[in-house]
Chain A
Amino acid sequence: MIYNITDRVIQHGALLDEMRVETSGAVATFHGIVRRPSRGRDVLYLEYSSYGSMALKVLEQIGGEIYQNMQVDKVLLTHRTGRLEIGETTILIAIAAPHRKAALEGCSYAIERIKQILPVWKKEVWDGGEEWIQGA
Chain B
Amino acid sequence: MTITAKFFANFQDVIGTNTLKLSFDETLISIADLITQLERQHPGFNGNLEKFSLVAVNEKYSHRRQELSDGDVVAFFPPVSGG
Contact = CB atoms under 8 A, between A and B. Distances in A.
Interface string A116-131: 1111111100000000
B78 to A, nearest CB: 5
Given A57-B59, A132-B9, A134-B52, A115 B80 contact: yes
Contacts of A120: 80-83
Nearest to A48: B82
B83 A119 contact: no
A134 B79 contact: yes
Chain B interface mostly? mixed
Interface size on B, as a range, is: 20 to 34
Given A51-B75, A132-B78, A91 B83 contact: yes
A31 to B, nearest CB: 11
A54 B78 CA distance: 15
B56 A118 contact: no
Contacts of A91: 82-83
Question: 7 closest A-B pairs (Cβ-Cβ)?
Answer: A120-B82, A135-B79, A121-B9, A54-B59, A136-B81, A122-B81, A133-B81
Interface of A: 32, 48-51, 53-54, 57, 79, 90-91, 111, 114-123, 132-136
Interface of B: 6, 8-10, 12-13, 52, 54, 56, 59-61, 75, 77-83
